[in-house]
Amino acid sequence: MKNLCEIVKDLLPLYHDDVCSNESRSMVEKHLLECNDCKKYLDSMNNDFIQSNIEKATEQAKFDRLKGLKKKLFRKTMMISAVSVLCAIVVFLAGFSLIFHYEIPILYEDELLSVDIADDGVINILFNSKDYHCIYTYTKTIEKNGIEQDVVFVYYTDSIWTKYFSKPHKNEVKQFSIGNNIMVDSDKNGESILSKEDITAVYYLIGDYKNLAQMSNEEFTKATQDAILIWKKCTVL
């Protein structure tokens, strides 16, 4: 009997895994009906198998949770990286725009501008400082002493770049020209008619030139009372 139990115990792993022959299965099952020791041995194998499966399932659950946590962490890291890159780009563009496009009005000082009148009446305004970012001009027809006169308002702006970083180029002439002669309409033969605009004065005025065009004469006079005269016709004003 003992020898048979040893044989059955050797066969039980195969029986448990359902890989033994039919003859061996029949012998094992017949023996289990008569032997409690071998039956308990089989039950212990089943318990070990169940416990092993539970442990595997627990480990797998831990692994799955850890894997899911790693995925979430990876996505969060990627999102933070993307946001950081986006913020860096925004800061770069904002800094670029600030340095190169933020305008600082240039206050008028002596010898900032000089005026040269060409033979054809063109008024050439020369910028005598290091550099500038932009120039604004506005032409207005005013009435003085009963005579309509065209006057020009002008001012220059700096950017952070032109004010602090740019270097002047040698022999560079920073010139802005105001043409007195303008082409208007056409005559009967289709030829352009040359008209005299007759600029009588040029003023330096810092302000919003878009708003100047919408002002009444009274508002305009008030807004331009601090304008600095930089050139005028000798025969007028």
User: What letter would DSSP give residue 191?
Assistant: P
Predicted confidence band of residue 189 (pLDDT cuts 50, 70, 90):
low
Among residues 98, 123, 142, which one ends one of the domains? 98
Predicted confidence band of residue 236 (pLDDT cuts 50, 70, 90):
very low
Co-location of 115 and 224 in the same domain: yes
Return the pLDDT at 134: 92
Return the pLDDT at 104: 95
**Statement: residue 171 has pLDDT above 80:** no
Return the pLDDT at 63: 76
Cα torsion through 217, 223, 229, 235, rounded to 10 = 10
Return the pLDDT at 183: 45
CB 96 within 8 A of CB 159: no
53-106 pLDDT per residue, tens: 666 777 777 777 888 888 888 888 899 999 999 999 999 999 999 999 999 999
**Statement: residue 150 has pLDDT above 80:** yes
3-state secondary structure of 144: strand
DSSP assignment of 99-124 equals HHH--EEPPP-TTSEEEEE-TTS-EE
- Region 11-33: mean pLDDT is 77
Q: Which two tokens stand for residue 114?
A: 């000089």
Return the pLDDT at 199: 85
Co-location of 18 and 85 in the same domain: yes
HSE at residue 66, side-chain half, CA atoms within 13 A, is 6
Co-location of 132 and 92 in the same domain: no
Which residue range is the domain that position 40 belongs to?
2-98
Q: How many domains does the chain have?
A: 2
Judged by average pLDDT, the poorest of 35-39, 163-167, 228-232 is 35-39
Short-list 98, 209, 91, 113, CA closest to 158: 98
**Statement: residue 27 has pLDDT above 50:** yes
**Statement: residue 140 has pLDDT above 80:** yes
Co-location of 140 and 207 in the same domain: yes
> Within 10 A of 206 (CB to CB), how many other CB atoms are there?
18
Determine the Cα–Cα distance for residues 60 and 64; give it in Å rounded to an integer: 6
What is each CA distance from 142 to 147, 163, 204, 216, in whole angstroms?
A: 8, 35, 16, 12
- Region 173-180: mean pLDDT is 80
Co-location of 79 and 110 in the same domain: no
Co-location of 20 and 84 in the same domain: yes
Co-location of 180 and 221 in the same domain: yes
- Region 104-124: mean pLDDT is 89
- Region 105-110: mean pLDDT is 93
Co-location of 56 and 149 in the same domain: no
Supply the pTM of this predicted model.
0.61
Chain mean pLDDT for the chain: 81
Who wins on pLDDT, 89 or 145? 89
Co-location of 94 and 132 in the same domain: no
Co-location of 110 and 201 in the same domain: yes
Determine the Cα–Cα distance for residues 208 and 187; give it in Å rounded to an integer: 37
**Statement: residue 231 has pLDDT above 60:** yes
What is each CA distance from 195 to 45, 63, 146, in whole angstroms?
A: 114, 89, 21
- Tracing tokens 């000082």 back to the chain, one arrives at 109
Determine the Cα–Cα distance for residues 177 and 121; give it in Å rounded to an integer: 10
Among residues 98, 116, 147, which one ends one of the domains? 98
Q: Residue 173 domain-assigned?
A: yes
Percentage above 70 pLDDT, the chain: 86
